[in-house]
Amino acid sequence: MADETATVETPKNEMPTPKIRYDWYQTETHVFISILAKNSEHVKVATTETTLSVSAKLPNGSEYSLEIDLAHHIVPDQSSHKVLASKIEVKLKKRDGHRWLELEGDARAENPIQRIPDAILQAGNQPPKYPSSSKKARDWDKVEKEIEKQEAEEKPESEAALNELFQKIYGSGSDEVRRAMNKSFQESGGTVLSTNWNEVGQGQVDRKPPEGMEWKTWDS
């Protein structure tokens, strides 16, 4: 924030009016200027891309005037001001997003390199197609899809493969095969799975836990 002063034109034969201070601060998108002129009337604010002009009538009848050549470009159509009892507040919309080191300067001589091209800003909002360290461009979205396809085509192993085999047998088997599989699996507590209905249909299927293990119920 900076404190500045502006000239006040005082009519002849009147006591000089103290100079009016103004402060300014900024955000990423705007510059705010607070002119500490109390109870101002007939306030007029005019802006161009590089200038700010403020005029007002003070309570003692004198005219206040502030003319600033801005250090950077603004967007006049998106700038505004409001008059309060304690001050005049001007809100200037930055044309570019960079930080202002000074309020006053010559924006017309501004180095064009300081402004980031729109094409670069738009590219920054898109996911990169390849790592910055890679010298060869690769479409990583396509690579990811190829990996997913390969994983889907890979044959499952161990337990997954066994389950898939049982599903195929059950799906293509006869009614007797399905009854045998259901009965043996349920009565054995999942320890036996048989497709032989002639054997399974003769009676209760005993539990046969893996070697070295003992069958127990949840409440035992």
46-80 pLDDT per residue, tens: 999 999 999 999 988 899 999 999 999 999 999 99
CA gap 218, 220 in Å, rounded? 6
Q: Where are the domains of the chain?
A: 2-108, 158-200
Predicted pLDDT of residue 121: 45
Predicted pLDDT of residue 205: 76
For residue range 10-52, list pLDDT tens digits in order. 455 554 555 789 999 999 999 999 999 989 999 999 999 999 9
Spatial contact of 21 and 3, defined as CB atoms under 8 Å apart: yes
Which CATH topology does 2-108 take?
A: Immunoglobulin-like (2.60.40)
Q: Rounded to two decimals, what is the model's pTM? A: 0.45
Q: pLDDT-derived band of residue 126, with 50, 70 and 90 as boundaries?
A: low
CA gap 75, 53 in Å, rounded? 14
CA gap 103, 14 in Å, rounded? 32
Q: Which of 82-86, 104-108, 193-197, 199-203 has the highest mean pLDDT?
A: 82-86
Predicted pLDDT of residue 216: 57
For residue range 195-218, list pLDDT tens digits in order. 777 887 888 877 776 665 655 555
Spatial contact of 91 and 100, defined as CB atoms under 8 Å apart: no
CA gap 163, 181 in Å, rounded? 13
CA angle 195, 199, 205 (to 5 degrees): 85
